Amino acid sequence: MKEIKLTDAEEVIMEILWDKKKVFMKEILETYPEPKPAVTTVATLIKRMQNKELVGYTLFGNSREYYPKVEKSDYFKEEMNTMINRFFNSSVSQFASFFTSKTKMSQKQLKELREIIDQQIDE
């Protein structure tokens, strides 16, 4: 997957698509949080996401049913990799050090994180 960055507004629409799987414009507008953008704004955002190959649609007469073309987990995996590469010189250990020290994780959370890492090592 090529590096694709969503704007905040695009991400709101993608969250709706990931949640609902398939959705018509009316449902996007109903679900979109306040303040709701104009229909033309949402249509423009969807068109940009189609150009990024993130959104597809099926025609039903004159209506389009939109669906995500990328899984949420795949998108966020790429976002995390981009962030680690950009801000931590591609060093996962630098990221982990920053993440665990700057987010003020509790001892319980750190132990849970260690268990997750240990489980991944064992697999």
- Alpha-carbon distance of 86 to 69, in angstroms, equals 25
Alpha helix (H) residue ranges in 1-106: 8-20, 25-31, 39-51, 72-87, 92-102
Quick one: fold of 72-122?
Penicillinase repressor fold (1.10.4040)
What is the rounded average pLDDT of the residues 111-121?
A: 84
Cis peptide before 35 (omega within 30 of 0): yes
Question: What percent of the chain is predicted at pLDDT more than 70?
Answer: 98
Please list the residue range(s) of the chain that carry CATH number 1.10.4040: 72-122
- Alpha-carbon distance of 67 to 54, in angstroms, equals 9
Please list the residue range(s) of the chain that carry CATH number 1.10.10.10: 8-68
In tens, the pLDDT along 6-51 reads 888 999 999 999 999 999 999 999 999 999 899 999 999 999 999 9
Q: Looking at the whole model, is its pTM more than 0.85?
A: no
Quick one: fold of 8-68?
Arc Repressor Mutant, subunit A (1.10.10)
Question: What percent of the chain is predicted at pLDDT more than 90?
Answer: 44
Give the pLDDT band of residue 115 (cuts 50, 70, 90): confident
